[in-house]
Structure 1
Amino acid sequence: MASALYPSFKALLLGGDIDLAADDIRAIIVDTADYTYSSGHDFLDDVAAGARVAVSPALTSKTITGGVFDADNATFTAATGDSVEAVILYKHTGSDATASLIAYIDGVSVIPNGGSITAQWNASGIFSL
C-alpha cells in the first residue's frame, strides 16, 4: 500500500473541521500484519488495538507552508511489540471513536526493542496537498 491521506480527513479539512496547526495531532506506529489501510476508515477505532505498537505525544512545531504540513520528528518511547511498517497520523480527541484518521505513511521498517523510536519525517515535509 502506498502512503495516502484518508478521504474522511480530506472532507473534514475542506469543511474546516480539522486545523492541523491548532489541533492535537499525534502519530501511531503500526504493524501492517494486523492493520490494512482502507479508504473507508475514518476514526482510530478502525485500527485494531493489536496493530498499534506505540503512540507519540502531540506533534510539536507544526507548520503549514505552501500546502505542506510538517512538524518536529515524533518519538515513541519504550516501544515494544510487533514489527512496525507504517505510521498513522490522527487528531487526538481522547476517544478512539472520534479521533479522526489523517494520513497513512508506509515504507517504515523497524523492530521495537523497548527503546525509543524516532519517526524522522521527510525533509520536504510530512505530506503535501
Structure 2
Amino acid sequence: MANTLYANCRKALLEAQINWLTDTVKCILVDSSAYTVQVDTHKFLSDIPTSARVTQPQTLTGKSTDGGAADAADVTFPSVSGASIEMIILYKDTGVESTSPLIAVIDTATGLPITPNGGDIIVTWDNGVNKIFRP
C-alpha cells in the first residue's frame, strides 16, 4: 500500500467536518500484522484494534497548511517497546474512539518499518512540498 487519506477523511474535509488547524489531531504507531488497512471502509479510531497500536497517541502541535499541505512539528513517542511498527496513522480526536475519524495512513517513509528497542521514536515529517500529506 502507499500513503493515503482514508475515504471518510476526504469526505469530511470537503464537508468542513475536519479542520486541520483547529481540531485536535493525533497520531499512533501501528503494527501491520495486527491491522489491515481498509481506506474505503474504516472510518474511526475504533476500527483499529487496540492490539495493533504499539504506542499511545501523541498530539500534533505546530500545525500549518502552508502551500496547501498539512504539516506539523515532528512528534516524539517516548520509551517505545513492543511489536514492529509499519504504519503511522493520523486521526481527529473527539475524545471517543467510535467518533474519532481516521485521517491518513503512512506506511511508506524513511525509517519504516522499525523495531522498537525501548527508546524514543521520533517521527520527522517530510519537509518537501507534500509535508505530512496534501489533500
TM-score for both structures, normalised by structure 1: 0.95
Q: Is the 8 A contact 1:26 1:90 kept in 2?
A: yes
4+ residue runs of structure 1 moved beyond 3 angstroms? none
Could you list the per-position Cα deviations for residues 69-120 of structure 1 after superposition, in whole angstroms to 9, with x for gaps in the alignment? 0001111112111000010000111211011100000022111122210111
Structure 1 unaligned residues grouped into runs of 5+:
none
The alpha-carbon deviation at position 55 of structure 1 amounts to 3.0
Unaligned runs of 5+ in 2: none
2:87 maps to a residue whose letter is A
Structure 1 residue 66: Cα displacement: 2.1
Task: State the TM-score, normalized to the length of structure 2.
Answer: 0.91
Contact 2:28 2:58 in 1 (8 A): no
- Mean Cα deviation higher: 41-50 or 72-81: 72-81
Name the CA distance, whole Å, in 1 between partners of 2:57 and 2:42: 20
Q: Give SS of 1:90's match.
A: strand
Q: Number of aligned residue pairs: give it.
A: 129
Task: Find the residue that maps to 1:53 and give its secondary structure.
Answer: coil
Which has the larger strand fraction? Answer: 1
Task: Give the letter for the 1:61 counterpart.
Answer: G
Aligned equivalent of 1:127: 133
Please, what is the CA RMSD of the aligned residues?
Answer: 1.0
